[in-house]
Amino acid sequence: MMTKVLLYDDHSGLRLSIQALLDAEDDMVLTGALPYALAVTEDINQYSPQIVLMDIDMPGISGIEAVRRIRATDETLPILMLTVFDDNDRIFDAVCAGASGYILKSSAPEELPQAIRSVLSGGAPMTGSVARKVLQMVPRARQIQHETYYLSDRETETLQLLVNGYSYKMIAAELNLSIDTIRFHIKKIYDKLHVHSATEAVSKTLKNNIL
Can you give the pTM of this predicted structure? 0.65
Whether 28 is covered by a domain: the verdict is yes
47 and 114 housed in the same domain: yes
Q: Count other C-beta atoms under 10 Å from residue 61's C-beta.
A: 15
Written as one string, the DSSP assignment of 181-207 is HHHHHHHHHHHHHT-SSHHHHHHHHHH
Task: Indicate if 121 and 31 belong to the same structural domain.
Answer: yes
Domain end marker among 138, 171, 193: 138
Per-residue pLDDT reduced to its tens digit, 145-199 = 544 567 888 999 999 898 888 888 889 999 999 999 999 999 989 888 888 887 7
Q: Are 63 and 83 within 8 A, CB to CB? A: yes
Query: Does 124 lie in the same domain as 103?
Result: yes
Q: Are residues 118 and 90 in the same domain?
A: yes
User: What is the residue range of 197's domain?
Assistant: 149-208
Has residue 38 been placed in a domain?
yes
58 pLDDT more than 50: yes
Cα separation, 179 vs 173, whole angstroms: 9
Do 159 and 123 belong to one domain?
no
71 in the same domain as 16: yes
- pLDDT for 82-140, tens place per residue? 988 777 778 878 888 888 888 888 888 888 999 999 888 888 788 777 766 665 555 55
Between 53-57, 64-68, 87-91, 114-118, the lowest mean confidence (pLDDT) is in 87-91
Give yes or no: residues 124 and 193 share one domain. Answer: no
Is 133 part of any domain?
Answer: yes
How many domains are there within the chain? 2
Q: Let me know if residue 143 belongs to a domain.
A: no
Residue 146 is predicted with a pLDDT of: 45
On whether both 69 and 172 belong to a single domain, the answer is: no
Q: Looking at the domain assignment, is residue 89 inside a domain? A: yes
Residues 7, 99, single domain; the answer is yes
Residue 86 lies in a domain: yes
Query: Could you give the C-alpha distances from 21 to 2, 74, 81, in angstroms and in order?
Result: 15, 27, 16
Cα–Cα distance measured from residue 107 to residue 13, given in angstroms and rounded to the nearest whole number: 16
d(CA 211, CA 208): 9
- Same domain for 177 and 76, yes or no, is no
Rounded CA separation 40/140 (Å):
30
